[in-house]
Amino acid sequence: MRILAAILGVVMLASPVVGHELLIYTVIVNSEGAQPADIPTGALKEGDSAWFWMKDTTENATLVIELEKDGAKVRSPVLQFACELDDNGTRIDENCMTRYDFVFNQHTSAGEWNFTFMTYVNDSLNKTSTGSVYIQEDVHLEEDLDEIAESKEISKEAIAGVIAAVSLVAIAFLISKIESETIQEKE
């Protein structure tokens, strides 16, 4: 019986899972603007992140990034080119930031996002530029199975799943037969 449980555990761990590895996309904002201002379509899905780096070396320049989707807006803290560090490499001012990390929610971020990059020099708005990204929906296994059932197409993963299930049943049957024969021989 222990062997059967072990085999079941191995088969369950080997089952195919549909999803995606979370990605981080980097946008560099320098004196020429955001590079790239428009993140390519298909680059990001729900759950992925965008890192916005302030790399404008203009004297006394700071950056604020505004992200907008369907009227809802999110603003970054004020970003600087560099933060002063102590002898140990620790930031002296904990509020000083050179990068803004934004994670697109895994359930409600699909759709068009617009960016506004606002560069300030000596606390006065000096330059504004824009960009955008289309966040794709992150479709998971249950939704994929529903689509397969609706379209009546059989994928390689579905075939592999059926073969794995049939193999599991056959292995369980063989193990139970071997165990029952072993018990009978001992008697």
CB 102 within 8 Å of CB 44: no
Same domain for 124 and 55? yes
Same domain for 92 and 117? yes
Q: Which domain holds residue 43?
A: 24-135
DSSP class per residue in 21-72 = ---EEEEEEETTEEETSBPPTTS-BTT-EEEEEE---STTEEEEEEEEETTE
* Predicted TM-score of the model (pTM): 0.64
Tally the domains of the chain.
2
CB 23 within 8 Å of CB 42: no
User: 103, 120, 135: which is the final residue of a domain?
Assistant: 135
Task: Please tell me the predicted confidence (pLDDT) of residue 36.
Answer: 94
pLDDT tens for the 187 residues of the chain, in order = 555 555 555 555 554 445 568 899 999 999 999 999 999 988 999 999 999 999 999 999 999 999 999 999 999 999 999 999 999 989 999 999 999 999 998 888 999 999 999 999 999 999 999 999 999 998 765 555 555 555 555 667 777 777 888 887 878 777 877 777 766 666 6
